[in-house]
Structure 1
Amino acid sequence: MRQTTAPTARRQGRTVTAAAERTAVEPGAPDILTVAREQVLERGEGLTEPQVLEVLRLPDDRLEELLQLAHEVRMRWCGPEVEVEGIVSVKTGGCPEDCHFCSQSGRFPSPVRSAWLDIPGLVEAARQTAATGATEFCIVAAVRGPDRRLLSQVKAGIEAIRAAGIDIQIACSLGMLTQEQVDELVAMGVHRYNHNLETARSHFPAVVTTHSWEERWETLRMVREAGMEVCCGGIIGMGETVEQRAEFAVQLAELDPHEVPMNFLIPQPGTPYEDFEVVEGAEALRTVAAFRLAMPRTMLRFAGGRELTLGDLGAEKGMLGGINAIIVGNYLTNLGRPAQQDLDMLRDLRMPIKALSETL
């Protein structure tokens, strides 16, 4: 049953690296991967918060074993198909919120400036996305929430994409919504809405101060009740503790979204996080696998920062370690890998791209 109320806050954590917090398992305790194999792989029950934490504390010499189990879980409960998505920003920069990771905030001296994409540009971006074989096209705006101008632009863009005969599903990410705006998006034919919780509830006040975690949760509740698919994930590497990563994984599992984007922090010039260290590859892969074991049936998508954190080899390991969806091409203000490179990777791994008819 999908939960529609926010889970209870747990704690306000300190900022240390996950590697520094990794500790040994108590002598005589059941091996967590043995437990996970029976609980998650065989029964389809996601790990609890203490169990996720134990996975996140596994040493590097057990990483391959962990990734193999996560891949088996993905194959058992999700199947071999990979959903491919492209994203485009219809309104870039000038956002009034203070999300500390974001170069599009108007509160920070980052190089990103406000700009709008016109309707022909939006249609062409959708056409290019569909040409890659992607089934999902997400229209994104850097705003607290959509005003009348933005909603009109999105509506006109969706109508133009349909009129051009581009066969692709439309998703949106337009910030926090009112009930009236949720209903408008449903009427436009938007089938999935992305609104990330970003991080654990206990860590959120250290990341954003201009709105609350609970406000984001309320938008997600309305989206679900209106019948749109829920896409909700976050960013790893924003100073959260390893305990807070476990907390976040379980909070997402409680939300039960259709899709969870896995982003890794790209330190942006001019933002409060510009000097943060990039998450190490092994740490990123361990986190992906732990989230898969927490959410065995959820679409887990590689998103921003994977190229910087993992590199080419790591991307393949992630696809064999629990991931079953991917964003191709560029991100909002950062370059990604060429789309063909990811498509070639999927072909080499013999992972079929999910057909459009399967997303309806």
Structure 2
Amino acid sequence: MTTASDAILSTTAATQAAPTAAAASTGHAILDTAREQVLRRGKGLSEAQILEVLRLPDEAISAALQLAHEVRIEHCGEDVEVEGIVSIKTGGCPEDCHFCSQSGLFDSPVRGVWLDIPELVKAAKETAATGATEFCIVAAVRGPDVKLMNQIKFAIDRINAEVEINIACSLGMLTQRQVDQLTEWGVHRYNHNLETARSYFPEVVTTHTYEERLDTCAMVKEAGMELCCGALIGMGESVEQRAELAAQLAALEPDEVPLNFLNPRPGTPLENQPIMDGKDALRAIAAFRLAMPRTVLRYAGGRELTLGDLGTRDGLLGGINAVIVGNYLTTLGRPATADLNLLVELNMPIRELQKTL
């Protein structure tokens, strides 16, 4: 599969070379500034600077990705973190996130399904067998009730008894008591995405607020769990709002940022939204890395459509240092073997579990 990003595939050859901190000027002031500010001093770009990166001309994308790759190597190391995700409860969510086929408010083909605990344990084992160090349990809910929390506790105990893997959760908005429970049960990381910029959020979600999401993120960090807080771009937001989102994520200082690209789902309000241009997606990858030099930046949903196989390679050589392998919650991803083989081909070592415990 090829996409619009094919025109700049010289990126791949360029970024496979060893990073060179003393590289010559690119001819683009923002990249020269970022080399000094981000690469050498480890200080992420400001919102205005991020916007400059997102507005770079096509001929500068390769240089931006090269610099982002150097920043990733310098501040995060060579290792790539691999994760699998599975939904314990799919569909029937009461929220109206306009991009999500799991909302019970839309006429989507996705229907409510619960996964039983033996299936969850099996999925965790299969995930670990790929070399993944992280297994994320997801539920399509506004927030967990007592029944779901009990199921999560049982699932965590069963998984820990049968497979060595870090467990993450994504269960919507939490109370302080629920945060404390997950921490006590040994949940390694909690996912709660901002999705889009504060200024654009009311255009895609109306059943809860941006501040409610921020509240859960703050409680997770204060409890000592790692915070995974991601972005979904290509929903019709402006390039200025894309820069706003990157800056707002950077201000949260999350441990991980999953970077999703909209895959328009049938029956949702965004079903007719055009697929994001591959070159704009590559600009975003570079910009998000330069905004957050020390954060785990993870390839997540939609990259298969937006970037294709060749663009996926470019992103891995342009600042990405983590990958969700296999399928997503309601959409198909690349085969896990394809991503793992690509990591081997690019000489990107998969992070060992003991390094993350």
TM-score normalised by the chain length of structure 2: 0.92
1:109-135 CA distance string (max 9 Å, x none):
000000000000000000000000000
Measured after TM superposition, the shift of residue 30 of structure 1 is 7.3
Tell me how far apart the structure 2 counterparts of residues 152 and 285 of structure 1 sit (CA, whole Å).
41
SS in structure 2 at match of 1:85: strand
Q: Which amino acid aligns with 1:193?
A: Y
The equivalences for 1:3-42 within 5 A come to: 31-42=29-40
Say yes or no: does 1:178 pair with 2:175. Answer: yes
Cα distance change, pair 30–311 in 1 and its aligned pair in 2 (3 A): closer
| Structure 2 residue corresponding to 1:355, chosen from 335, 339, 352 | 352
Structure 1 gap ranges (5+): 1-28
| 1:82 equivalent in structure 2 | 80
The separation in 2 between residues aligned to 1:334 and 1:294, in whole angstroms, is: 29
In 2, the alpha carbon distance for the partners of 1:149 and 1:280 equals 42
Structure 2: 5+ residue stretches without partners: 1-26
Q: Does residue 162 of the first structure (1) align with residue 160 of the second (2)?
A: yes
- 1:234 Cα deviation from its structure 2 partner: 1.5
Q: Distance in 2 between matches of 1:217 and 1:305?
A: 24
Give the one of 105, 122, 140 matched to 1:107.
105
Q: Report whether the alignment pairs 1:345 with 2:342.
A: yes
Q: Any residues of structure 2 matched to 1:178-257 within 5 Å, and which?
A: 178-257=175-254
AA matched with 2:253: D
Aligned counterpart, 2:257: 260
Give the AA of the match of 1:256: E
Q: Deviations over 1:58-105 (max 9, x none)?
A: 010111111100000001100110000000000000000000000000
Q: Between Structure 1 and Structure 2, how many residues are aligned?
A: 331
Deviations 1:144-201 (CA, angstroms, capped at 9, x unpaired): 000011111111111111122x010000000000000001111111010000011000
Residue 14 of structure 2 is matched in structure 1 by: none
Instruction: Give the AA of the match of 1:163.
Output: A
| Cα-to-partner distance string for 1:299-325 (whole Å, 9 max, x where unaligned) | 000000011111111111000000000
- Find the aligned partners of 1:78 and 1:30 in 2 and give their Cα distance: 25
The one-letter code matched in structure 2 to 1:301 is: R
Matching residue within 118, 132, 135 for 1:134: 132
Query: In structure 1, what residue type is equivalent to 2:88?
Result: V
Q: Quick one: distance in 1 between partners of 2:39 and 2:178?
A: 39
The secondary structure found in structure 2 opposite 1:185 is helix
Query: Structure 2: how far apart are the matches of 1:77 and 1:311?
Result: 27
The whole-number CA distance in structure 2 between the counterparts of 1:230 and 1:163 is: 25
For 1:322-333, what aligned pairs fall within 5 Å after superposition?
322-333=319-330
**RMSD of aligned alpha carbons:** 0.9
Classify the secondary structure of the residue corresponding to 2:307. helix
TM-score by length of 1: 0.91
